[in-house]
Amino acid sequence: MKTATSPVDTVKNQTVTHRQFLLLALPLILGALSTPLLGAVDTAVVGHLPDPVYIGGVAVGTLIFNTLYWLLGFLRVSTSGFTAQAHGANDKAELLMTFLRPLGIAVLCGMLFIVLQSPVKWVAMWLINPGQAVEAQALRYFEIRIWGAPFALMNYVILGWLIGIARVRLALFLQVFMNVFNIVLDLLFVLVLGFGVAGVAAASLIAEITAVGLGLVIIYLSKELQGGKWDKGQILATAPLLKMLKMNRDLFIRTVCLLAVFGIFTAKGATMGDVTLAANAILFQLHLLLAYVLDGIANASSILVGRSVGAGDQPLYIRTIRFSALWAFTASVLLGAFLFINKGWVIALFTSIPEVQLAAGQFAEWVVLYPLVSFWGLQLNGIFAGATEAGPLRDSLVVSLGVFLIAIWLFLPLWGNHGLWFSFTLFSLSRSLVLWAYLPRLNRMFAPQNVAAEHNRSSA
């Protein structure tokens, strides 16, 4: 298979251009946005069935798997960082190891989910506590899709590796293929064959397995691995394996903190009535879409920082930070302005209920503010991930979770739902500020003093 040319294949030994940076970021943004599209189609398909319990069953089942897989999202992030560094150093043997090591972890964790499926679903149902009819549909969904756990996690590694070598178009193709194939199977199994919730789960399972098969073929034929020599013993080499496990541990802690914030936010909103809960759900989906766009830019920065660290290309490192800040800030202003001007019809896309539209409109300004307070933290997340320095990422979420909890305690009783959104805004701002405080140390690690000084002057 002939692989597509990467927009940054010629970056090494010359400065990256704005065009190269954007050609790297745009496919990553599109790939990320394909994920919420799939969730919307899943909901729409079962929404045409005669009983609303089908929607609830898919929603509960999807929540379980999103939580399980999100906890292991570090597999994609760390794989991208280590792969980009090996690629920058032109070390083909290590490039293969950066794929095989996390792939082994993905398979082991996926098999562990299968073995422990009974206690997992029991705990999930106890925590979520859905109605009896919804629980029956959710269990039907769970008991089919759980068999895809190893493949779902292997997909994280495959995508992370392709992103790490800057084959973003191939990564985009793989994501879009999996999601479109899933959607086609959804329509066939549910609307044509009448399999109901089981059809939605089977569609996801088949799409995940197929995507892994295609991804493995793409990687096997990748030119980046051609001509490389390797030793099987390298897979368990102590130093790189411990470094990978340490980074994955820190990213896992980071993810737990992030899930805690999302869970507390949802739980507090649920105490304010059905209308406020629905309005918050819509606004939170908008926040996630904004985050996906900014994450695409952050992922581009992660690739280039990883490559610059691996190659010892210090000017590329500094230029990547500048471009990341410039384009993320530009995107945050444009996104915020668009949402501010068009918030009425955007909210109307999500609901036709007047009370919910009115409530969402009252709190929409907090989502308008979100890109402005979060863009730098999201970019620094990509920069530190590319440098495989996960300690600051962990610390930023631990500190920000503390800020969020204190803010909830202080402002929720005073301002109600406005206090809840204000607390979330402080959480997002705190992530940016804590990581920014770590940036000079990262500069000292990967850039000479004169380059770091030049960067600081240009930022002033």
Question: Does residue 402 belong to any structural domain of this protein?
Answer: yes
329 residue type, one letter: F
CB 157 within 8 A of CB 75: yes
Question: At which of 236, 271, 288 does a domain end?
Answer: 236
Domain that holds residue 343: 249-460
**Per-residue pLDDT tens digits for 208-223:** 999 999 999 998 888 7
Question: Does residue 16 belong to any structural domain of this protein?
Answer: no
What secondary structure does DSSP assign to 16-80, as a single string?
PPHHHHHHHHHHHHHHHHHHHHHHHHHHHHHTTSS-THHHHHHHHHHHHHHHHHHHTTHHHHHHH
Question: Does residue 58 belong to any structural domain of this protein?
Answer: yes
Write down the pLDDT at residue 440. Answer: 92
**Do 257 and 122 belong together in one domain?**
no
**Do 131 and 257 belong together in one domain?**
no
**Do 97 and 191 belong together in one domain?**
yes
Q: In the numeric block, which tokens belong to residue 190?
A: 């549910």
Question: At which of 184, 215, 236 does a domain end?
Answer: 236
Number of domains into which the chain is organized: 2
Question: Does residue 411 belong to any structural domain of this protein?
Answer: yes
**Do 178 and 203 belong together in one domain?**
yes
Question: Does residue 381 belong to any structural domain of this protein?
Answer: yes
Write down the pLDDT at residue 418. Answer: 95
**Do 352 and 297 belong together in one domain?**
yes
Q: Which of 301, 254, 310, 307 is nearest to 431 (CA)?
A: 254
Buried b (16+ CB within 10 A) or exposed e, 210-219: bbbebbeebb
**Do 265 and 186 belong together in one domain?**
no
Question: At which of 183, 209, 236 does a domain end?
Answer: 236
Distance CA 413, CA 438 (A): 34
**CA 344 distance to own-chain centroid:** 28
Spatial neighbors of 232 by CB under 8 A, at least 6 apart, are none
Write down the pLDDT at residue 1. Answer: 43
**Do 269 and 407 belong together in one domain?**
yes
**Do 266 and 393 belong together in one domain?**
yes
**Do 198 and 255 belong together in one domain?**
no
**Do 292 and 364 belong together in one domain?**
yes
Taking the whole predicted model, whether its pTM rises above 0.75 is answered as yes
pLDDT < 70 regions, the chain: 1-15, 34-53, 55-56, 128, 227-237, 350-351, 447-460
Q: In the numeric block, which tokens belong to residue 240?
A: 């790189």
